[in-house]
Amino acid sequence: MAHAVARDGETLRFRSRGAFGLARGFGALVPLVFTAVVFAWPLGVLVMRAFDDDDATTLSQSWSRTGALGLLGVTALQAAVSAVAALVVAAPIVWLMSRAKLPGTGLLRVIVTLPFVLPTVVVGVAFRAVFDGPLAFLGVEQGWTSIIAAHTFLNVAVVVRVVSAAWQRVDPRQVAAARALGASPTRAFLDVVAPRLLPAVAAAFALIFLFCSTSYGVVVILGGGTAHTLETEIYLQGIGYARLPDAVALSVLQIGVVLAALAVARLLGSARVPQSGTTSHAERPRGIGWIAVIAVLAWIGVWLVLPIATLVVRSLRPGGHWGLVGYRAMFDDTYGESAVASLRYSVTSAFLATAIAVVVGLLTAATLTRSGGLVARTGAVLAILPLGISAVTLGFGYTLALAELPYEVAASPLIVPCVQALIAIPVVVGVMVPALEQVPPRLRDAAATLGARGPRVFVTVDLRLTAKSLAAAAAFAFVMAIGEFGATTFLARANTTTLPVLIGSLMGRPGADNYAAAMAASVLLVAVSAVVVAAVEFAARTRTGDRRRKRC
């Protein structure tokens, strides 16, 4: 009897896996088809245009005419300086988040994470307000100094998340052993902790370099027309001067640089930090230790709170007088679509993009964790690749690709949500892969033994156990979609203008009312992002608390 039951269980499990294999094969095709159409197609058109003989120019000629190598050097230099600045600014914050046990840690995490998810155009507007307001005496309202400061603000969270996670995996007993052998606190840190943090620091540097080398909104808002990178020059040559061959040549160069940076980031990110199986424990500060904590909190206030606070104040006091002029100006449609109308479209478009990103990203994560077929891996790589490709390059590729289609297709309101989803999919994949990897296989086998088919196993076991992670992924996807600026700048039309694109347009228009409306609209996007990040942080803390109670 026992053998018969075992055979029946094995048969059910085999059938379940077979059924799931068919569904998994179909699920692997969805990311592959979607990214091939929405991502590979416009880039393929762009690359083909680069080698089109009808333009009677070569890549080297276009690079020489546009000063591409000089732009490449400037782009790489500012990205490297921004990455170093982010590491320096984040260093004390990493210490605080890793070693100090404080009340209100959740709020602190929200403050640290919020800048990273803000739209780049909003960050540019915020730093315009800072350097034109509290820090006006520095005389750096526009230019490379303000750009690097904004990039630092944007990417502190990358360093904090990556390096503090590595620090928390360092065995505190090793540090205690070094201290017992006579090492000073500094020597123990340099000999024990620092070597284990170096891979994480290098990975954070590579990621920030990648993000800053493809930065567009910050450079446009804070560059003052004098600071140029490959990103801004692609837009200028393609849209401003209508020199398509030169814009295409710069885009090809940008693709090569970004792919190289992405490869380095992936290589460094895959380096494993030595682990001992224990987790370090944060300690409550005592005595003089509170001085360091207060100093770091003040440091956070200057770098991460001041820009947001200044933006809020300037939105309520745009002309030196308190009032709601900026918020009332959001209803003004004198020069076209009002900010309120753009907000409505942005929310609708972001929700649609989130739905697409969640479906494609979840299928990608499932194929990555449950299969290793060629189709699955190809689709997964294509789905993650948009994280490193320049949004401006992608937008320019769409400009060329859509020009070959009928107007009814090119003007479809679905174009913008699909592109926004493409930018958000890597975020969903990054959240869901580790979540799905933690699902015990024995639970799937138990469900299969009880008669559940493959798709039902996935829904009742995998999705049930990772529901909170999926909600967090959807929330971050929504924030990424509603704040996308680079690609949608190329694609926005009269009825598909998103709020970030309108903010950039308002900042370029003369008049105090336009400036006030841009400030007010930026505050609204900050508020949306803050609510989402706070909700994700609260859910994460609730999930951690549930795990601790179960262990107890």
- The mean pLDDT value for 135-150 works out to 88
Do the beta carbons of residue 501 and residue 488 sit within 8 Å? yes
By mean pLDDT, which of 249-258, 270-279, 314-323 is the weakest?
Answer: 270-279
pLDDT class for 378, splitting at 50, 70, 90?
low
pLDDT at position 273: 41
pLDDT higher than threshold 50 for residue 416: yes
pLDDT at position 87: 95
Do the beta carbons of residue 411 and residue 255 sit within 8 Å? no
- The mean pLDDT value for 150-157 works out to 95
401 by Cβ neighbours in 10 Å (0-12 / 13-18 / 19+) ranks as middle
pLDDT higher than threshold 50 for residue 24: yes
Distance between CA 396 and CA 415 in Å, rounded?
A: 14
pLDDT higher than threshold 70 for residue 372: no
What digits encode the pLDDT tens for the residues 91-119? 999 988 888 788 878 888 899 999 998 98
Rg (CA), the chain: 25
pLDDT at position 12: 41
By mean pLDDT, which of 78-92, 202-216, 227-241 is the weakest?
Answer: 227-241
- The mean pLDDT value for 492-519 works out to 83
Instruction: Decide which of 60 and 277 is more confident.
Output: 60
pLDDT at position 353: 93
The domains found in the chain, sorted by start residue, are 14-52+325-547 (1.10.3720.10), 62-314 (1.10.3720.10)
Distance between CA 112 and CA 109 in Å, rounded?
A: 5
pLDDT at position 84: 96
pLDDT at position 19: 42
pLDDT higher than threshold 90 for residue 545: no
Torsional sign, CA 177, 183, 186, 190: negative
Distance between CA 193 and CA 174 in Å, rounded?
A: 9
Q: ∠ CA 120-483-422 to the nearest 5 degrees?
A: 110
pLDDT higher than threshold 80 for residue 127: yes
Distance between CA 43 and CA 255 in Å, rounded?
A: 9
Do the beta carbons of residue 392 and residue 464 sit within 8 Å? no
CA distances for 292 relative to 98, 286, 298, 302, angstroms: 14, 10, 10, 15
What 3-state class would DSSP assign to 440? coil
Most confident range, picked from 78-87, 137-146, 476-485 = 78-87
pLDDT class for 1, splitting at 50, 70, 90?
very low
Say what percent of the chain tops pLDDT 90.
Answer: 18
Sequence-distant (≥ 6) Cβ neighbours of residue 463 within 8 angstroms: 470
- The mean pLDDT value for 447-472 works out to 80
pLDDT at position 380: 57
By mean pLDDT, which of 48-57, 177-186, 365-374, 389-398 is the weakest?
Answer: 48-57
b vs e for 466-499, b when ≥16 Cβ sit within 10 Å of the residue's Cβ? Answer: beebbebbbbbbbbbbbbbbbbbbbbbeeebbbb
Nearest to 164 by CA among 74, 332, 260, 279: 279
pLDDT class for 9, splitting at 50, 70, 90?
very low
pTM of the predicted model as reported, rounded to 2 decimal places = 0.82
By mean pLDDT, which of 21-35, 72-86, 115-129, 212-226 is the weakest?
Answer: 21-35
Please name every residue paired with 283 in a beta bridge, in sequence order, or none if there are none. 100
What digits encode the pLDDT tens for the residues 507-534? 877 777 788 888 999 999 999 999 988 8
Please name every residue paired with 100 in a beta bridge, in sequence order, or none if there are none. 283
pLDDT higher than threshold 60 for residue 495: yes
What 3-state class would DSSP assign to 89? helix
What digits encode the pLDDT tens for the residues 43-96? 888 778 766 655 556 777 888 888 888 888 999 999 999 999 999 999 999 988
Nearest to 468 by CA among 537, 552, 421: 537
Most confident range, picked from 120-134, 251-265, 276-290, 449-463 = 120-134
> Which spans in 214-305 are helix H?
217-222, 230-235, 244-269, 289-300
pLDDT higher than threshold 50 for residue 419: yes
pLDDT higher than threshold 70 for residue 28: no
Tokens 């003089």, located at residue: 288
Copy the structure tokens of residue 210: 């990648």
- The mean pLDDT value for 243-255 works out to 81
Tokens 């300037």, located at residue: 314
Instruction: Decide which of 136 and 408 is more confident.
Output: 136
- The mean pLDDT value for 260-265 works out to 72
Look over the chain and give the mean of its residue pLDDT values, rounded to a whole number: 80
pLDDT at position 307: 93
